[in-house]
Structure 1
Amino acid sequence: MTLSRQLYILILSVSVMMGAGTWLISVDNTRTYLMLQMATQTQNTADSLGLSLVPHMKARDIAVMDTMINAVFDSGYYKSLSLKSMQGEVLIERENTSSIEDVPEWFINGLKLDSPQASSIITTGWTQSGTLNLEAHPGFAYKKLWDTSYAMLWWSLLVIIISFLVSFMALKAILKPLYAVEKQALAICDREFPVVTDIPKTRELKKMVEAMNMMTAKVQSFISMLTERAEKYREQAHYDEMTHLMNRNGFKAVVENCIKDQEHAGSGFVALIRLADFAAYNKKHGHQDGDNLIIEVARLIDSLCDSYHGSTAARIGGIDFAVLLPLADPDTTSAFGHELSCSLEGLSSNHQVEAIGHIGLASFHQNSSFGDILADADTALASAQSQGNNEYNILSSNNDAMGNQAWAALIKNALSHNNVRFIAQPVMDQNSNSIYSELLMRVIDDAGKEIRPGPFAAMAERLALNEKLDQFVIQRATTLLEHATDQNSILGVNISAASVKSSTFSTWLEKHLQTHNKAAARLLFEITEHGVLQSFGEANHFVDIAQANGARIVMEHFGTRLSSFQSLRQLKLDYIKLDGSFVRNIADNSDNRFFLQTVTDIAHGLDIQVIAEHVENVDDFHALQALGINAMQGYYFGEPQPIS
């Protein structure tokens, strides 16, 4: 029960008790007064009537005495009257048998009024001639007492109501700062840090509001400090200070993670870009212009990478740059090489030099090593140098890649004929209990061969078929949940970046979740960090729609972008899934352990659970447990299993 409600009940209770006490005291005082008044009036009437009857008593004029007595008794104030001689002879007797009208019986029974009696001795001279006995009738007193009690009751109720309303308004004004503080506390839990500007005049409340404002500022400052520290450390450890691209160590971790990602990657191309005659350019234009050229080339490469799904740019040496193109086929790689070559040619014209650099591209697969990939790319780069200025060359061993038309036919056929097989990989908590299962799709081609989800999803995005694919998977996941024997099972579904920023997809998703509201509460949507940062406003809208309908949100591949920590504070995420490049071999990497500890502390401070993906061995499992990671996923817990 809220404090305000408790205070209202207390005020109302006190008001009712005071009103009831005042009413009871007033009724009792009125009752006492009426009884005293009846007794006094009865005695006075007996005395005055007795004196009036003296001369007629002496003459024994019964008729006159009867008339005089009737005049008094017929007023209704008396219950009985008797006139007796001294010998006990009843001369005149009257009895009022009328009932008490307009007064409830329960009131009469609850408030007894005694009927006072009075007597008067009638004397004629020195002789006592008779006795007059008179008993009051309480009818008029009861009527007066009822009317007075009734009026006082209504006045008491009116006073109680007015007092309560005045108290309500006063308390509402007094407690207004408490409501503001309550909203402030809830906002902090919701990863917002508002400050209450309406400071109350009441000293205690003023101190409380000021203390809450100080706490809010300190919490915000602490989280900002952790965020800045984590970003600074990551930038120092994994990024080049001059270009802000990933450095060699960071690039190596990303490439190796891509190679070993058995579900979503495992193959692709790496581009090696080396500046041409940079020593001569540096000597001619100076070191500052040389540095500016490196920065300009870095921006050009990084900008070009935005158009290629999952690509990562890096500066791996003084004049060497590299780009990872996961799941890229030869056509995509050739398009990238041509586009980058043209951009370098344009930069050459701007700087009036013959060549800016050359590009060598080499493919890799799940058995490749980082050193071998760079060696192949360097071989391709040597060929490009012999071809001419700003040229590119591709060294590929991938001879079984399909073209765009074949991929489009395969995807459309899979969706229309349901040529898919679903498997699930669990996400486990620290006690190895399943939190949810990530739904993975295997596409079956015409030859009956299964295709891993990574290449399939990448081609769907390239061919603008992501929305249809995502809708298909969500519909199947919903059906699986609605027909599951375990009504507590939860499924995670991967959503492409294109679908996240699509308004038509968001509209469809909202209608779908509203139609299947029970299953919606058992769905998690995994969205990539890169997709969120590409279109933050649309991603925020997508998160709001999902959570409003009971679904939860996971940001996967967290940590691969420098600005991702700020998004934690703005998006209402339920989980973050750390990128595998930080997780692999974490037991032997103290730098990454420090970084993940900081990330975990920040996330927990924002009430976000942390998941580590690509957990492959027991040493990494125990290291992640020690860091306070909430959940883990990977082949250490077993391979993905078919889902029925």
Structure 2
Amino acid sequence: MTLFRQLYSLLFGLFLLVIASLGYVQFNETRSFLSKQMESDLNNASHSLGLMLVPALEAGDMATVETLVNVIFEGGYYQQVELTWMVDGKQQTWNNAIRVRGVPQWFIDLGFFPTIDRESTITSGWIQLAKLKITAHPGYGYNELWRIMSNTIIVFSILFLIAIITARFGLSWILKPLNEIAEHAKSVARREFGPDMKPPKTLELKDVVEAFNSMSAQLKQIFNALDEEVSELRTKNLVDGVSGLPNRQYMTGRIASWLSEPSSGALILSQLTWLEDVHRRYGYQVRDETIKLLSQRLQENVSGAGETVVARISAYEFAFLLINVEREQTSKYLQQLLRTINQEMVKAGCKPNEDYGIGITERSSSGDATVSSILGKADNALQLALREHKTYHWYESSEQQLFTREQWRDKLVAAINNKQFRFRWQAIQQVGTSKYLQREIFCQLQVEDKQVHAGQFMPYVELLSMGSLLDRCLIEKIVEDRLVDKVEQPIAVNLTHQSISDVKFHEWLGQFLKENHHRGLLTFELPESSIYSDNSACEALCRILRDSGASFGIDHFGRQFGSMNYLQSFRPAYVKLDQSFAQFDDNERNTELCRALVNVAKGLDISVIVTGIQEQAQLDRFIPLKVNGYQGFILPPEELK
């Protein structure tokens, strides 16, 4: 029960007790007064009637006696009059039934007024003429008691209503600062740090507000310090100090993540030996400045591909990872890269198209490539270009494509329309137990009696902008196949970049989730890159998911270079640490970076799942970091029938 309700209930009870006490006192006083008044009237009537009856009794005039008694009795204030003649013992009785108009019978049956009677002897001198007994009628008492108590109850009720309404508004006004403190405390508990509260005029609450403001500021400073620590550690571990580009360690991890996901693209390695000539002629300071300017140009002017990662992996060697691109896009990127390098060479006083080489290799669709193999192919192409004094060499793969782009379009459209997809799922296990936290769903495409894995068709889904259609199809099929009824854990669905940015998909998903009984067992994963590239769309989608009773998480957490402050506003149920962190060497600096990322998430009460775990030795590195769960081919995907 809230403090407002407790205080309100206390005031309500006290006021009710006061009113009940006053009503009780008023009732007893009124009843006592009426009883005394009826008793006094009875005494007067008995005395007066006795004096009036003396002449008639002495004369033995019975008719006159009856007339005199009826005069008094017919007033209705007496229930019974009984007259006994002393001469012959004759007895006369007059009765009046107890009937009171305007008073409920149940009130009369309560018997608030006892029977009041007076018995007297009528005498004439020393002679006793008769005995007179008069019993009072309680009707007058009940009538007056009912009228007075009814009016009292009405007045008390009006005062009671006025009092509780006044108390409600008064308490609301008095406790308003306390309510603000409670809301502020809830926000702080959710790690949401808004502006400081204004100190109230109430002295006691003023101290509390100032204490909360101080605590909120300190907690905010702590989380900002954690965020800054993560940025510093990433800069120290994963960024080249001269160029400001990612280093070899980061690029190696990104390549590992890229190869583990359904994607396409190419890897380009370039060795710029002309930078050594700049060093020899002008010194290391000019060389470093040239590298810095070249790096900025490579990031700013080289475009034409989708997601691109540029890294400096050695003194004069740069790597370019092109994700989700075809050969035509890779070729355009290569031409822009050559033009940018030549422009910077001219600025540095070197001859263009000399003293550098570029090696290009494409990712195969078979899905069996490793980091070392694709780096080896790119390096072989680079070394061949240097030996033959060519600007670049393209490693030609003998792999045959399954279908052309247009064929893929037709087959994907048909597969989506007919829902020709099959599912696998992979368990995410809780660290230290055998309990599963969730199951991530993967899809395969049925094409001409063949199973085509996601690594082969997902690149074309992205290239053909069919992500929203595919996600809609898969979500419908998950519900139709009643997968949520087969397990007790949530089922995680990865959303494509196009779905995240598609407003129509947002509307459809919200309506679909409300119409279908998913029991909160559907959870959706958003890649971290989407949050940085389209924050408003991600925020709108997350709001829809919350309203629909579904949860969501952040995939590839820690991959992007940027602030972690988005966690405070998005509030995901969990984050999945990028697979590249599982590939890092086990050294103190890498461990501290992972620890800082985990602390940022867990400080906001967000579960952390580490991905890319292939063997127990990798998992053992993360157990001391207190992660919640792990995922990888240590728990391989299972076929769904």
Q: Same fold (TM over 0.5)?
A: yes
Matches of 1:368 and 1:124, distance apart in 2: 138
Matched to 2:183, the amino acid is K
Tell me if the contact between 2:471 and 2:499 (Cα under 8 Å) persists in the aligned partners: yes
The amino acid across from 1:628 in the alignment is: K
- Equivalent position SS for 2:627: coil
Distance in 1 of aligned mates of 2:77 and 2:378: 122
8 A Cα contact 2:82 2:132, kept in partner: yes
SS of residue paired to 1:519? coil
Can you list the C-alpha shifts for 1:168-188, whole angstroms capped at 9, x where unaligned?
112222232333233333334
The aligned counterpart of 2:314 is 317
**Could you tell me how far apart the structure 2 residues matched to 1:408 and 1:95 are?**
109
Give the superposition deviation at 1:8.
3.2
SS at the partner of 1:435? strand
CA displacement, residues 224-251 of structure 1 (integer Å, 9 cap, x when unaligned) = 2111111211111111234432112222
Tell me which residue corresponds to 1:35. Answer: 35
The amino acid of 2:440's aligned partner reads E
How far residue 11 of structure 1 moved from its aligned partner, in angstroms, is 3.1
C-alpha separation between the residues in 1 aligned to 2:119 and 2:475? 102
Alignment of 1:437-586 (within 5 A): 437-443=439-445, 450-480=451-481, 482=482, 486=486, 488=488, 490-515=490-515, 517-519=516-518, 521-584=520-583
Determine the structure 1 residue equivalent to 2:296.
299
Aligned ranges 1:6-45 → 2 under 5 Å:
6-45=6-45
- Secondary structure, in 3 states, of the residue corresponding to 2:634? helix
- Distance, in Å, in 2 between the alignment partners of 1:126 and 1:347 is 150
Task: Report the equivalent of 1:429.
Answer: 430
Name the residue aligned to 1:372.
376
**Contact 2:614-2:633 within 8 A present in 1 as well:** yes
> CA offset at residue 43 of structure 1?
0.9
**Could you tell me how far apart the structure 2 residues matched to 1:306 and 1:612 are?**
32
Equivalent residue runs for 1:346-365 within 5 Å: 346-347=343-344, 354-355=351-352, 358=356, 360-363=358-361
Distance in 2 separating the partners of 1:55 and 1:620: 127
**How far apart, CA to CA, are the structure 2 residues paired with 1:35 and 1:420?**
94
Structure 2 spans left out of the alignment, 5+ residues: none
Q: Please say which of residues 394-403 and 616-625 is displaced more in the overlay.
A: 394-403
User: What residue identity is the alignment partner of 1:113?
Assistant: F
The answer to whether the Cα contact below 8 Å between 1:81 and 1:135 also exists between their aligned partners in 2 is yes
Measured in 2, the distance between the counterparts of 1:419 and 1:34 equals 94
Q: How far apart, CA to CA, are the structure 2 residues paired with 1:438 and 1:306?
A: 34
Q: 1:635 & 1:528 partners in 2: Cα distance?
A: 20
Whole-Å separation in 1 of the counterparts to 2:275 and 2:583? 36
- Secondary structure (helix, strand or coil) at the match of 2:20 reads helix
d(CA) in 2 for partners of 1:126 and 1:420? 126
Q: C-alpha distance in 1, partners of 2:131/2:549? A: 95
Moved more, 505-514 or 523-532: 505-514
Query: How far does the alpha carbon of each residue in 1:406-455 deviate from its partner, in whole angstroms, 9 at most, with x for none?
Result: 54455345435655443222222222322222222233555x65444234
Matches of 2:590 and 2:155, distance apart in 1: 76
| Equivalent in the alignment of 1:270 | 267
Is the Cα contact below 8 Å between 2:311 and 2:319 reproduced in 1? yes
* AA in 1 matched with 2:333: F
Q: What is the letter of the counterpart of residue 597 of structure 1? A: R
Letter in 2 for 1:486: K
Asked whether the equivalents of residues 597 and 627 of structure 1 are also in contact (C-alpha less than 8 Å), the reply is yes
**Aligned partner of 2:386 among 363, 375, 382:** 382
Deviations 1:533-552 (A, max 9, x none): 11111111122222321222
1:47-80 Cα offsets, whole Å, 9 max, x none, are 2333344455555555545443332222111122
Deviates more, 1:346-355 or 1:187-196: 346-355
- Residue type matched to 1:224 in 2? N
Q: Deviations 1:442-494 (Å, cap 9, x if unpaired)?
A: 33555x654442342223212323222322322222322x2665263532222
Cα offset, 1:603, TM superposition: 0.9
Structure 1: which amino acid aligns with 2:249? Answer: N
- 2:133 paired residue number: 133
Q: Is the 8 A contact 1:256 1:369 kept in 2?
A: no
1:256-267 equivalences in 2 (<5 Å): 256-259=256-259, 261=260, 263-264=261-262
- SS of the aligned residue for 2:245 comes to coil
Q: Could you state the TM-score of these two structures normalised by the residue count of structure 2?
A: 0.88
The answer to whether structure 1 residue 231 and structure 2 residue 234 are counterparts is no
Instruction: Give the number of equivalent residue pairs.
Output: 632
In 2, Cα distance between equivalents of 1:487 and 1:256: 31
Q: Secondary structure at the match of 1:439?
A: strand
Supply the AA of the counterpart residue of 1:433. K
Contact 2:197 2:209 in 1 (8 A): no
CA contact (8 A) 1:362 1:376 kept: no
User: Is 1:96 equivalent to 2:68 in the alignment?
Assistant: no
In the TM superposition, residue 254 of structure 1 has moved relative to its aligned partner by 2.7
Change (3 A) 1:359 1:421: farther
**Contact 1:584–1:616 (CA under 8 A) maintained in structure 2:** no
Query: What are the within-5 Å matches in structure 2 for residues 147-186 of structure 1?
Result: 147-186=147-186
* Residues 243, 292 of structure 2: 8 Å contact kept: yes
Look up the match of 1:340: 337
| 2:472 partner letter | Q
- When residues 299 and 414 of structure 1 are mapped into structure 2, their CA distance, relative to the original with a 3 A threshold, is farther
- The separation in 2 between residues aligned to 1:342 and 1:403, in whole angstroms, is 30
In the alignment, the residues of structure 2 paired with residue 333 and residue 450 of structure 1 have an alpha-carbon distance, to the nearest angstrom, of 28
Structure 1 unaligned runs (5+)? none
CA-based RMSD of the aligned residues comes to 3.2
For residues 547 and 494 of structure 2, the distance between their equivalents in structure 1, rounded to whole angstroms, comes to: 19
- Native 8 Å contact 2:555 2:576 kept in 1: yes
Structure-1-length-normalised TM-score:
0.88
Q: Which amino acid aligns with 1:600?
A: V
Question: CA, structure 1 residues 306+212, in 2 after alignment: closer, same or farther (shift >3 Å)?
Answer: farther
| CA deviation string 1:107-141 (max 9, x = no partner) | 12213312322244444345554443322111111
Aligned residue for 1:635?
Answer: 633
After TM superposition, the structure 1 stretch with the greater mean CA deviation from structure 2, 434-443 or 355-364, is: 355-364
Contact in 2 for aligned 1:425/1:437 (Cα 8 Å) = yes
The answer to whether the Cα contact below 8 Å between 2:441 and 2:492 also exists between their aligned partners in 1 is yes
> Equivalents in 2 of 1:126, 1:211: separation in Å?
96
The aligned amino acid for 2:19 is G
Change in CA separation of 1:561 and 1:484 when aligned onto 2, cut-off 3 Å: closer
Instruction: Work out the CA distance in 2 between the residues paired with 1:110 and 1:24.
Output: 15
